[in-house]
Structure 1
């Protein structure tokens, strides 16, 4: 970065949750710490169950284990800073802010892509069950996940480099608990037209294309299920997609609430609450959604717990 482009603001003050009274801050600290531990433990158990049980070495569970890994990383990028922020205002250097922004974008994109890949997997399973094993080969599964990582990393790098070229001259206060791109663009005293244009065009496509693919997959799945003559057959087909639909609804519902509402309806408290939903609550709920609605996962977890109890005794 040239001398002229160096930002005069070298650090940012994240107000976030520290504006609440002290008693509320202590309660929030315990609450978010508990949720973070539940997120890490729950997703690790999902990964462990899938890796240990050979019956779960299928495309659906391969994608689910990747989703659990991404959720652990996503929460770990945000929650430790959030815990610090509940006790006092958190100060982050410009480099730390850019680093956090990079990982946030990359991991959020991966969540987005994996949900689309999982929808395609369910589409093939329901609409083309006889060709499932020939279509969803291990090579294709690895290619889909690797391709998703490459696109997510390049997209995050693009937006981070665009942010790095901006200057911040006066106010360094971010009314949030992490370095949100929108908040940073508002603070910049440089021309942010290119950043905003890339966010709306390229960034918009990154979100909307997987979402459209998910919608198209479930339209085809619904159409195929409705043609099944027996009620039991319909219920079985829908139940295989129920967990994924719940996760999709949580992820996109909260993102739409934060980023696609009219700016006039936004308030700091509302935005913070909605952001907590998709950054903290959704990664925590995913393991519960998949384990409670999935007898295979429950069976694998029961085996692991039983084996541990047997070893101890």
Structure 2
């Protein structure tokens, strides 16, 4: 078995055994959903980058959250769409890369959500020191490490699996994750177990940090109506984003570790890809509708376009009257 393990270079992704008609329907729906994710996140990114009034810590963190959504979904949707039209086979190296992208995207989400919670805590609980603390230089450092640390943690997790001999080639999922590769190894590396537990505890600390900030936020905001209104305006989208993300990731982890084989294939696939479906699509619309500055940005854009389109016939009539007068 060990001799055959070294020659495993192609892995098969299970869970895509559908009829051709079902695959075509699923392909069109997935493509439409991916387009919605791209449109929503790119719109928020462009709005924040172009408008200098949105160059504030809260919106900079939101911009990075949307960039991370594009990064994470890029590791899943193109390959998934390709699998629906062809054989669902992936190389060992490609599987490792996909697992790295998806895992690091999840960790980046936690880091950015923690930064957003801390930013709201400072803005509402310590407003007098907020602007002196949240300088451009400090925000840049925060953003840099919110990307660097997750990428490094997941690189170390992936590196501990590199070179491991595989005793199987069937990944029981519609995409690759490190845990599934770990279950296929002939002799699970102890280093990977240690790194995995460290990463889990590290990002669990992020979650408890977010809870701690919101305990103080709610206690502070309950003291005045004005503070509570500010909380609902700026923190409510973050709460929705955090809740959908944590529930989606938790469902995937619970199913991956303790899932029952008696579940239907459709339900299993939905639970596996829920955190790649709901949060990336919901976040841009929640923040876009709830945050006043971003909502006004899009409303003004639509108003300007409508005004320009209404003025075009008038301009044409004026030009024609001038030409007739000149003749």
- TM-score calculated relative to the size of structure 2: 0.86
Picking from 289, 294, 299, the partner of 1:297 is 294
Residues 110 and 149, structure 1, Cα contact 8 Å, conserved in 2: yes
Matches within 5 A, 1:147-296: 147-169=145-167, 171-199=168-196, 201-228=197-224, 230=225, 233-260=227-254, 263-267=257-261, 269=265, 270-296=267-293
Counterpart for residue 9 of structure 1: 8
Structure 1: distance between partners of 2:173 and 2:160 = 21
Structure 1 stretch 88-97 or stretch 124-133: which is displaced more?
Answer: 88-97
Counterpart for residue 121 of structure 2: 123
Count of residue pairs brought into register by the alignment: 305
Shift of 1:112: 1.1
* CA radius of gyration, larger in: 2
Counterpart for residue 44 of structure 1: 42
Q: Secondary structure at the match of 1:41?
A: helix
Shift of 1:212: 1.0
Residues 3-38 of structure 1: CA deviation (Å, up to 9, x unaligned): x9983201111123x212333222211111111111
Residues 9 and 172, structure 1, Cα contact 8 Å, conserved in 2: yes
Residues 262 and 84 (structure 1), Cα distance of their counterparts in 2 relative to 1, 3 Å cut: closer
Residues 246-303 of structure 1: CA deviation (Å, up to 9, x unaligned): 0000111111112146944444644421222101221111111111212211111223
- TM-score calculated relative to the size of structure 1: 0.90
Structure 2: gaps of 5 or more residues: 313-327
Structure 1: gaps of 5 or more residues: none
Residues 131-170 of structure 1: CA deviation (Å, up to 9, x unaligned): 211121111111111112221121121011111131113x
Residues 164 and 6 (structure 1), Cα distance of their counterparts in 2 relative to 1, 3 Å cut: farther
Q: Secondary structure at the match of 2:160?
A: helix
Structure number with higher relative contact order (C-alpha < 8 Å, ≥ 6 residues apart): 1
